[in-house]
A = this chain, B = another copy of it.
Amino acid sequence: MSAPHSPAGPEACDVREALDLVTDKWSLYIVSNLSAGPRRFNELRRAVNGITQRMLTLSLRNLERDGIVARTVHEVMPPRVSYRLTPLGAGLLEAAAPLIAWSAGHVSDITAARARYDVG
């Protein structure tokens, strides 16, 4: 099909691209769990509520690919791999912090709104 007709401004596409970074289930959650410093794979797995091994691996790979997270392998036995935020990732976390805080603070408002909507 024809490319999205958005000559209206270069920002439109950027915003869509940008929001895709946030549109996946785990990335922001993982990033926020790396705020306190480097974490090993299984530390993250325990910290990130409900994530599977597979999804943690995939999410970390994507974050690494995007330059958000850095992966370090320590060549010892047993294997030791740690993950930490890059400067880019730290910037993302900083930018996301208000949204995360707001969301956490307004879950009850939204739950209430839903209840009202579903009744009336």
Q: Interface on A for B, CB 8 Å cutoff?
A: 4-8, 11-25, 28-29, 32-33, 35-36, 43, 46-47, 49-50, 64-68, 88, 91-92, 94-104, 106-107, 109-110, 112-114, 116-118
Contacts and interface: CB of A to CB of B under 8 A. Distances in A.
B104 A11 contact: yes
| Copies of this chain | 2
25 contacts: A6-B47, A8-B33, A11-B104, A14-B103, A14-B107, A15-B104, A16-B49, A18-B100, A18-B106, A20-B25, A21-B103, A22-B22, A22-B28, A67-B109, A67-B110, A67-B112, A67-B113, A67-B114, A88-B106, A88-B113, A91-B102, A92-B99, A92-B106, A95-B99, A96-B99
